[in-house]
């Protein structure tokens, strides 16, 4: 009887340890992307730690999805500048008198 309870205690401890490791990987898998999304949206990246708790992580995703993002538009790259007028400038057509 004593050996069975010790063995059962060891099994329970192993299951709790495995669950803790799985939860840690799952938390990291959610925290890292929400960290970058929060930073790009103009919010504090520390809000991503709310993903450690199930309901608050879901609320954070809804806040990020429907909030107004404070993002400045990116200027176009140098190779995509608007076309320059032809050189030399063309005279008006038909010629004005």
User: End-to-end distance of the chain based on CA atoms, in angstroms?
Assistant: 115
Domain segments of the chain: what residues? Answer: 2-65
Distance CA 47, CA 56 (A): 10
State pLDDT tens for residues 5-21: 889 999 999 999 999 99
Q: Is the pTM of this model over 0.85?
A: no
Q: What token pair was written down for 29?
A: 């898998």
**pLDDT (tens digit, 9 = 90+) per residue, 56-90?**
888 988 988 898 888 777 776 767 666 666 677 66
């Amino acid at each position: 009887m004593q050996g069975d309870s010790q063995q059962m205690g060891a099994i329970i401890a192993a299951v709790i340890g495995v669950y803790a490791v799985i939860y840690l990987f799952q938390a990291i898998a959610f925290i890292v992307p929400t960290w970058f999304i929060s930073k790009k949206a103009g919010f504090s990246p520390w809000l991503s730690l709310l993903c450690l708790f199930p309901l608050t992580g879901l609320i954070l995703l809804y806040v990020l999805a429907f909030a107004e993002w404070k993002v400045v538009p990116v200027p176009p790259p140098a190779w995509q500048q608007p076309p320059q007028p032809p050189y030399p400038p063309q005279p008006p057509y038909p010629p004005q008198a």
